[in-house]
């Protein structure tokens, strides 16, 4: 088992040695837990969101595969994130009273 002593900054920060970081394939976030009096740092594995699965199903049904599927998935994922951010902004504006909320008829009333 490889060991390395590292310093803890005044802000309680540590630097993970590059060889450990690369070996574990760490990204910008890690999972940190206390286990039997030991601090354990693990790679953060996120389950695919329901949106991700649905986006992939839709893209595959449209005939995308390989690199083209990966590129299209990146675009669609970004679009979903932007739409969710917009919805949150709108919800916050409604909650703050800066924007009126839609009522049932606004949403479901058919135009004549």
Residue 90 lies in domain: 50-100
**Both tokens of residue 94?**
């409604």
**Both tokens of residue 81?**
């994130």
Residue 60 lies in a domain: yes
Averaged over successive runs of 10 residues, the pLDDT of the chain (112 residues) comes to 90 93 85 91 76 89 94 88 84 88 82 62
Q: What is the DSSP letter of 97?
A: T
Q: Are residues 37 and 56 in the same domain?
A: no
Q: What is the pLDDT of residue 67?
A: 93
Q: What is the pLDDT of residue 102?
A: 85
Q: What is the DSSP letter of 34?
A: E
Q: Are residues 77 and 54 in the same domain?
A: yes
> What is the CATH classification number for the domain harbouring 6?
2.10.260
Could you give the number of structural domains in the chain? Answer: 2
């Amino acid at each position: 088992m490889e060991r390395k002593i590292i310093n803890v900054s005044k802000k309680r920060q540590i630097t993970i040695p590059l060889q450990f970081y690369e070996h574990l394939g760490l990204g910008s976030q890690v999972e940190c837990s206390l286990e039997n009096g030991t601090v354990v740092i693990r790679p953060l594995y996120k389950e695919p969101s329901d949106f991700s699965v649905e986006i992939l199903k839709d893209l595959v049904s449209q005939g995308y595969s390989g690199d083209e599927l990966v590129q299209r998935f990146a675009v669609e994922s970004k679009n979903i994130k932007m739409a969710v951010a917009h919805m949150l902004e709108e919800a916050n504006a409604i909650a703050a009273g800066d924007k009126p909320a839609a009522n049932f008829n606004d949403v479901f009333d058919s135009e004549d």
